[in-house]
């Protein structure tokens, strides 16, 4: 079932651009982690700057969409749900940016032997975000497909959680100082938490979808 957007082309374009920004940022986030682990700091900084720019654009778009909804009195019966979806999705890019900023400030020393698993955690988190964005797109265009995407969000969130636990066990099995173990584990947790944010938003999306189907 196609949602209200056929009659609101400008709003549709704004929402599509907003979702494109979040989806792109998930890919950049994953690459930024990889560059950091490979000690390619200039490349990492460039990706951090891009995610920061995207986060600003997403905020501006969300505010513009909210203004559009109210000024043009569009879909008053579903306005709260739409704004709720966008606001919570916006929190995901905030978390990605925050995580990369912490990398740039604290500069954790991560042994190369942890790189493969660390990259897998980042990949699973990015995949969870991507599946979330697919779910949000489906909410506006193909409501019956939303639950399939939500299921995939949960899959990747669980994968990120399992991989993060495995990585932490490897970290704590080494002879590094406890302070360094704690420091690296903190960053593992923050990279994995991106998938948690995606899952939280997907659960809200599931509720909004049920409301639309009643």
Confidence at residue 2, expressed as pLDDT on a 0 to 100 scale: 47
As a dihedral over the C-alpha atoms of residue 184, residue 29, residue 52, residue 140, rounded to 10 degrees, the angle is -130
Confidence at residue 172, expressed as pLDDT on a 0 to 100 scale: 97
Q: What is the pTM of this model?
A: 0.91
Confidence at residue 74, expressed as pLDDT on a 0 to 100 scale: 52
Confidence at residue 77, expressed as pLDDT on a 0 to 100 scale: 56
Domains of the chain, earliest start first: 4-213 (1.20.58.220)
pLDDT in tens, the chain (214 residues): 344 555 577 788 899 999 999 999 999 999 999 999 999 999 999 999 999 999 999 999 999 888 877 776 555 556 678 888 899 999 999 999 999 999 999 999 999 999 999 999 999 999 999 999 999 999 988 888 999 999 999 999 999 999 999 999 999 999 999 999 999 999 999 999 999 999 999 999 999 888 877 6
């Amino acid at each position: 079932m196609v949602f209200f957007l056929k009659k609101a082309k400008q709003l549709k374009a704004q929402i599509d651009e907003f979702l494109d920004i979040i989806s792109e940022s998930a890919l950049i986030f994953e690459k930024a982690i990889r560059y950091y682990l490979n000690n390619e700091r200039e490349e990492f900084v460039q990706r951090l700057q891009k995610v920061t720019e995207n986060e600003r654009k997403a905020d501006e778009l969300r505010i513009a969409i909210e203004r559009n909804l109210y000024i043009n009195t569009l879909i008053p019966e579903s306005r709260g749900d739409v704004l709720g979806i966008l606001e919570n999705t916006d929190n995901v890019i905030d978390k990605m940016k925050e995580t990369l900023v912490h990398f740039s400030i604290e500069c954790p020393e991560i042994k190369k032997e942890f790189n493969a698993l660390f990259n897998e955690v980042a990949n699973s988190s990015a995949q969870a975000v991507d599946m979330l964005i697919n779910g949000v797109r489906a909410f506006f265009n193909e409501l019956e497909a939303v639950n399939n995407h939500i299921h995939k969000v949960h899959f990747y969130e669980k994968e990120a959680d399992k991989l993060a636990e495995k990585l932490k066990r490897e970290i704590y099995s080494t002879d590094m100082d406890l302070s360094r173990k704690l420091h690296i584990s903190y960053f593992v947790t923050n990279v994995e938490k991106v998938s948690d944010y995606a899952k939280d938003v997907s659960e809200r999306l599931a509720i909004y979808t049920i409301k639309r189907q009643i």
